[in-house]
Amino acid sequence: MSDAPLVDVRDIVAGYGDESVLDGVSLSVERGEFVGLVGPNGAGKTTLLQTINGVLEPDGGQVLVDGVAVHDLSSRAASRRVATVPQDTTVAFEFPVEAVVEMGRTPHRGRFSGDPDGREAIERALDRTDTARFRERPVGSLSGGERQRVVLARALAQATPALVLDEPTASLDVNHQVRTLELVRALTREGKGALAAIHDLDLAARFCDRLAVLADGDVRAVGPPEEVLTGERVATAFDTPAAVVPSPVTGAPTVTPLSHPGPDGDADHWLGHEHGHDSRDDVGRDTGHDPEAVDLQVHVAGAGTAAARTVATLAAAGATVTAGVVPEGGLAASVAREHGVETVEASPFEPVDAATEAAARDHLVAADVAVLAGDLPPSLRALVRDHDAVVRVTDRGTGRGQTGNVEGAANGVETTSGEGTGSAEATGSADEFRVDSHTTPARVAETVRQVAERPAPADD
């Protein structure tokens, strides 16, 4: 029996009423293993956890815990095998912490015979989760992070081999997220098997031994985080382009979602939501084109999220994209590579040499539109601005670099006249279009097309 996985989910079909959520899911968790369950909202993560802890009776398949089918067990027997940390830890009642932890002993307590091991298990759980010091306080008076630990203590007091956690870090600050997951990982090192639904892909990748990607009612991939989390897989599962690069600090994969290639109607919604309906916003829409199709050659220069998003957006919109100079190994470079974009890269901390600059210049000359997105050394910035049609993508979200241009981005798109301002930023082209990388892909694509269609400015 000890060779079999601790939790063995076999071909589970489950749902609520007529609505099927899980369609033949199989997954296993070994003793001493921390498995993360990731996937978009509505993928069925909670449903899967509920079939494992016995709350939901599956329509097909079975879940074995320690070799026994959970759904053949009484609630009491099942609760001695699987403990659950629920998503909603709001205990609306004024029970003291210790009383809540004591409730974890319910499956071990005989109605008349009591629970001889209870005291010790409760003390250990309180100690382990560092909640002993507020044992007398009502749960309602604790912070979200402390309450999470109390619920975790309750699950520990249950003394089960398997632990199931539903979004244990969803409402916690960074510090408590890390502490919670560290604790869960430490518990698995002592022999428990844990399965946790985790929203934050970076955290999941950092703490879990294996990840299972759940999407559309099925497990799309299972394995070590670095194998499972690829840009393509994340893009398919979450329906959004994403860049995956190893974290320079932890080495675990980090996922940066880029932008959502949603339908235009969707984009309008977001735009209206963020900026209100400025009359200027509608100008570009009167052209009658499909606002997302960009049949142009576009060169993107810059760095960071702004450049990465722009490359992904324009590539998705059908433009022939070239990129450079972008920092070597950065987000923009990895996204460009993923989209098969011809890219000029340079070491981020050294002056750009003449050959690199020349390569970038070639791309620029060939491009219909030049896009400046994010940070760029001044010499290269000047190079880009020599182009007739320049779109500037600012990164309002972080305010990095482009300090002089941030305020111009407040309306999403802004045309500034470059004449006579004397500003180094504005010299070069007569008109400069600015677009905020946080608006929408459609807006970025549209602005690029608008710039290309505009009559060439007369040189002065």
Partner 1 sequence: MGAPTSTGSGGDTGTDPATETDEPTGPATAPSASRRSASVRAASWSAGLTVVLVAVVLASATIGPVSLSIPVVAKAALNAVAVPTGVTLTAASVGLGGATATVPVPDLTYTYLFSFPVDGTAETIVRSIRLPRIALGVVVGVALASAGTVMQGFFRNPMADPSIVGVSSGAAVGAVATIALSLSIPFGIQGAAFAGALVTAFVVYLVATENGRTPVATLLLAGVAVQTFLGAVVSYLLLQAGESIEQALYWLMGRLHTATWSDVEVTLPVAAVCLVVVLVYTRDLNVLLLGEEDAHTLGIEVERTKRILLAVSSIATAAAVAVAGVIGFVGLVVPHMLRLVVGPDHRVLLPTSAIAGGAFLVAADTVARAGPAELPVGIVTAALGAPFFLYLLVTREVHSL
**Residue found under tokens 């393509």:** 232
C-beta of 29 vs 451, nearer to partner 1 = 29
Q: 337 to each of 326, 341, 345, how far by Cα in Å?
A: 11, 6, 11
Minimum CB separation from partner 1 for residue 192, in Å? Answer: 16
When asked if residue 146 is in the footprint of partner 1 (CB under 8 A), the reply is: no
Residue of the chain from 158, 254, 437, 447 that contacts partner 1 (CB under 8 A): 158
Give the interface segment with partner 1, choosing from 130-138, 269-277, 388-396, 433-441 (CB under 8 A).
130-138
Of 49 and 211, CB closest to partner 1: 49
The rounded distance, in Å, linking the Cα atoms of 252 and 245 is 8
Interatomic CA distance for residues 321 and 340, integer angstroms: 9
In this structure, the chain runs to a length of 460
Torsion sign (Cα): 108, 111, 115, 121: positive
Comparing CB distances to partner 1, the nearer of 28 and 50 is 50
Is residue 104 at the binding interface for partner 1, with CB under 8 A as the rule?
yes
430 binds partner 1 (CB under 8 A): no
Tokens describing residue 146: 């402390």
Question: Distance (Å, rounded) from C-alpha 56 to C-alpha 15?
Answer: 9
Shortest CB 175 distance to partner 1, Å: 20
Site for partner 1 in 75-94 (CB under 8 A): 75-76, 78-80, 82-84, 86, 88, 91-94
Instruction: Compute the Cα dihedral for 38, 41, 43, 46 and give only its sign.
Output: positive
Beta-carbon contacts of 142 under 8 Å, excluding residues fewer than 6 positions away, are 97, 134, 150
Is residue 454 involved in binding partner 1 (CB under 8 A)?
no
Residue (76 or 454) nearer to partner 1, CB: 76
DSSP 283: G
Task: Kindly determine how many residues on this chain lie close enough to bind partner 1 according to the rule CB under 8 A.
Answer: 42
Minimum CB separation from partner 1 for residue 372, in Å?
A: 53
- Give the range of 138-146, 364-372, 383-391, 414-422 binding partner 1 by CB under 8 A: 138-146
Cα(456)–Cα(76) distance, integer angstroms: 77
First and final C-alpha spacing in the chain: 84
Q: Residue 215 CB, nearest distance to partner 1 (Å)? A: 24
Q: Report the residue number, 154 or 210, with the smaller CB distance to partner 1.
A: 154
Cβ count within 10 A of residue 24: 14
| Contact between 131 and partner 1 per CB under 8 A | no
State phi, psi for 96 to the nearest 5 degrees.
-70, 155
The burial of 338, by beta-carbon neighbours within 10 Å (0-12 exposed, 13-18 middle, 19 or more buried), is given as buried
Q: Is 74 in the site for partner 1 (CB under 8 A)?
A: yes
- Contact string 5-34 vs partner 1 (x = CB under 8 A): ------------------------------
If one asks whether residue 205 binds partner 1 (CB under 8 A), the answer comes out as no
Exactly one of 95, 218, 230, 348 binds partner 1 (CB under 8 A); that residue is: 95
The 38-57 contact track toward partner 1, x by CB under 8 A, reads ------------x--xxx--
134 near partner 1 (CB under 8 A): yes
Rg (CA), the chain: 27
Tokens of 177: 């997220």
The dihedrals phi and psi of 68, each to the nearest 5 degrees, come to: -115, 135
Residues that bind partner 1 (CB under 8 A): 50, 53-55, 74-76, 78-80, 82-84, 86, 88, 91-96, 98-99, 103-104, 106-107, 109, 111, 119, 123, 132-138, 140-141, 154, 158
